[in-house]
């Protein structure tokens, strides 16, 4: 979501004459868009700010002073404390306020004096009543694969999680607004759209005819947009995995056969302590339902090891669940206490070395599963949306329907250029832990040597 938010900040700043530059040295305005989910992510911000302070000081005479902004959830959580610790920061603004960025930049420009550029530090961490989406300009093109935020914030209050405090209460964008932005993105070249939300399947946006639509209805409507070949959504909560959404996976071809459905733990006691409001059995039932609807669906999850109170037996229950499900990939983290969350006040903290040992075991099991999953694709021909340049002139990279990262080498630069931005049939030559290597399948009917497209 921070990638999406950064793109929208660019959209809102473009009318002021701002454009992207490649290095911070060349920038009149540097914005760090930050994440507060774990302590490590939050800490990085201050070390990065230290580097920017030096750049701001080094800026050559005659140039406008560099302005530094901090956006996102660390800004939200730190507020005035950030300006106290880093007085050279000009703007501190939370994730719900960036539609007011032009106004903040104008104020900071007025108030910033001299080349030292020390302003007074403008802080905006409100949760405004007006929705930022109502004030943002049309979304600019993001290329073949685009993000679209449909839902933000969270009301679930998992014990370990800071999101409800930093992103705020749950909000779903109206259906008409989402459809308009999706069409805009497709006109700008998107063939794939990933719908985003902190708890995306809690979506319940106002429908064009009054009432509300859940995510399944929204996805069905989006599937009708000509030229939109792929739809994905992330991140979902098992409790919001409704029957109609599970069924949609079997009925909507453009809904990709890959789902990130975090379970966090396989132990019912820990799930209860986490306030996840479901059991391991409930989760496995959902997985069964998804596989019945779409047998080739690939699954991914997030895991937290070492949540307060996690015993060896709890951890083994998580390992057991992983073995039962068989994941295509997963993200796993050591529990990190977040100030203000209920879990941070819980007793029975798990020692750091135990967390590390559990994390290593869990990750090695996931890696084994990932390698096995990837190997089943060797020799198969699969459609890949090529949306990235590769390591050489003639290499391109993209994603399979199952979210593999796939690299392909073309014979010529012309063939690579023609294939770029399209969904191309590729034959998988070999599997690596984090990617697949492929070769083009040539379209026999074409006059030119055209890669077969879907």
Which residues are near ligand SAH by CB under 6 A? 37-38, 160-161, 163, 198-199, 235, 237, 262, 264, 302, 304, 333, 335-336, 338
**CB closer to ligand SAH out of 141 and 277:** 277
- Read off the DSSP letter of residue 442: B
**Which does residue 157 touch among ligand SAH, ligand SF4, none (CB within 5 to 8 A, set by kind)?**
ligand SF4
What's the rounded Cα separation, in Å, for the pair 311 and 304?
A: 13
Q: Strand 192-196 relative to strand 145-149: parallel, antiparallel, unpaired?
A: parallel
Beta bridge partners, 339, equal none
Angle, CA 403 vertex, CA 38 and CA 355 arms, to 5°:
30
What's the rounded Cα separation, in Å, for the pair 350 and 137?
A: 47
**Which does residue 42 touch among ligand SF4, ligand SAH, none (CB within 5 to 8 A, set by kind)?**
none
Q: Strand 329-334 relative to strand 405-409: parallel, antiparallel, unpaired?
A: unpaired
Please give the residues from 165 up to 194 whose contact with ligand SF4 meets the rule CB under 6 A: none
Residue 85: exposed, middle, or buried by beta-carbon count in 10 A (0-12, 13-18, 19+)?
exposed
What's the rounded Cα separation, in Å, for the pair 363 and 369?
A: 10
**CB closer to ligand SAH out of 343 and 419:** 343
**Which does residue 336 touch among ligand SF4, ligand SAH, none (CB within 5 to 8 A, set by kind)?**
ligand SAH
Q: Is 154 in the site for ligand SF4 (CB under 6 A)?
A: yes
Q: Which stretch binds ligand SF4 (CB under 6 A): 7-15, 154-162, 343-351, 353-361?
A: 154-162
Give least dist CB 237 to ligand SF4, A.
Answer: 5
Give least dist CB 169 to ligand SF4, A.
Answer: 11
- How far is the first Cα of the chain from the last one, in angstroms, to the nearest whole number? 29
**Which does residue 338 touch among ligand SAH, ligand SF4, none (CB within 5 to 8 A, set by kind)?**
ligand SAH
Contact letters for ligand SF4, residues 234-273 (x by CB under 6 A)? ---x------------------------------------
Paired tokens of 247: 């069924």
Q: How far is CA 68 from CA 6, 80, 99, 193, 427, in A?
A: 15, 15, 17, 31, 47
**Which does residue 333 touch among ligand SAH, ligand SF4, none (CB within 5 to 8 A, set by kind)?**
ligand SAH
Give least dist CB 161 to ligand SF4, A.
Answer: 3
Crossing angle of helices 312-325 and 352-375, rounded to 10° = 10
**CB closer to ligand SF4 out of 38 and 418:** 38
**Which does residue 304 touch among ligand SF4, ligand SAH, none (CB within 5 to 8 A, set by kind)?**
ligand SAH
Give least dist CB 5 to ligand SF4, A.
Answer: 16
Which of residues 107, 156, 183, 272 is near ligand SF4 by CB under 6 A? 156
**How many chain residues touch ligand SF4 (CB under 6 A)?**
10
Give least dist CB 275 to ligand SF4, A.
Answer: 8
Three-state SS annotation for 226-287? CCCCEEEEECCCHHHCCHHHHHHHHHCCCECCEEECCCECCCHHHHHHCCCCCCHHHHHHHH
Q: For 343, what's the count of Cα atoms within 13 Å in the CB-facing half-sphere?
A: 25
How distant is the alpha carbon of residue 46 from its chain centre? 22
**CB closer to ligand SAH out of 37 and 223:** 37
- Tally Cβ neighbours within 10 Å of residue 347: 6
Contact letters for ligand SF4, residues 9-48 (x by CB under 6 A)? ----------------------------------------
Give least dist CB 370 to ligand SAH, A.
Answer: 17
Give least dist CB 155 to ligand SF4, A.
Answer: 8
* Contact between residue 442 and residue 412 where contact means Cβ atoms under 8 Å apart: no
Which residues are CB-neighbours of 118 under 8 A, at least 6 positions away?
87, 88, 112
Which of residues 96, 199, 400, 423 is near ligand SF4 by CB under 6 A? 199
Rounded to 10 degrees, what is the CA torsion of 246, 161, 74, 358? -100
**Which does residue 164 touch among ligand SF4, ligand SAH, none (CB within 5 to 8 A, set by kind)?**
ligand SF4
| Contacts to ligand SF4 by CB under 6 A | 154, 156-158, 161, 163-164, 198-199, 237
């Amino acid at each position: 979501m921070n990638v999406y938010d950064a793109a929208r900040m660019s959209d809102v700043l473009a009318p002021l004459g701002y454009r992207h530059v490649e290095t911070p040295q060349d920038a009149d305005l540097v914005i760090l868009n930050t994440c507060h989910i774990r302590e490590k992510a939050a800490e990085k911000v201050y070390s990065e700010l230290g580097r920017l302070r030096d750049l701001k000081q080094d800026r050559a005479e005659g140039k406008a002073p560099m302005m530094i902004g901090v956006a996102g959830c660390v800004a939200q959580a730190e507020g005035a404390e950030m300006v106290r610790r880093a007085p050279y920061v000009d703007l501190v603004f939370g994730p719900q306020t960036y539609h007011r960025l032009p106004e903040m930049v104008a104020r900071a420009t007025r108030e910033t004096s001299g080349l030292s550029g020390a302003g007074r530090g403008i802080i905006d961490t409100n949760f405004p009543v007006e929705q930022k989406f109502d004030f943002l300009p049309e979304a600019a093109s993001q290329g073949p694969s685009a993000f679209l935020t449909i839902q933000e914030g969270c009301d679930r209050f998992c014990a370990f999680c800071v999101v409800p405090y930093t992103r705020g209460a749950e909000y779903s964008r109206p259906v008409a607004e989402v459809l308009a932005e999706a069409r805009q993105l497709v006109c700008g070249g998107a063939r794939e759209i990933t719908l985003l939300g902190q708890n995306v399947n809690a979506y319940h946006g106002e429908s064009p005819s009054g009432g509300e639509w859940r995510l399944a209805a929204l996805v069905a409507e989006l599937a009708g947009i000509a030229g939109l070949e792929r739809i994905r959504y992330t991140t979902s909560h098992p409790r919001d995995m409704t029957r109609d959404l599970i069924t949609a996976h079997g009925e909507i071809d453009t809904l990709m056969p890959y789902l990130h459905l975090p379970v966090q733990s396989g132990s019912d006691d820990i799930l209860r302590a986490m306030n996840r409001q479901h059991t391991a059995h409930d989760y496995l039932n959902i997985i069964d339902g998804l596989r019945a609807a779409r047998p080739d669906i690939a699954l991914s999850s997030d895991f937290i090891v070492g949540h307060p109170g996690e015993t060896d037996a709890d951890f083994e229950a998580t390992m057991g669940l992983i073995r039962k499900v068989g994941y295509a990939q997963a993200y796993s983290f050591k529990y990190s206490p977040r100030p203000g969350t209920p879990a941070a006040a819980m007793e029975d903290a798990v020692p750091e070395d135990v967390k590390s040992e559990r994390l290593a075991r869990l990750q090695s099991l996931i890696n084994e599963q990932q390698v096995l999953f990837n190997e089943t694709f060797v020799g198969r021909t699969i459609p890949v949306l090529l949306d990235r340049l590769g390591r050489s002139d003639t290499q391109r990279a993209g994603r399979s329907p199952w979210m593999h990262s796939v690299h392909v080498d073309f014979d010529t630069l012309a063939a690579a250029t023609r294939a770029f931005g399209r969904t191309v049939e590729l034959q998988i030559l070999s599997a690596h832990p984090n990617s697949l290597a492929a070769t083009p399948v040539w379209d026999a009917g074409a006059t030119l040597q055209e890669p077969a497209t879907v």
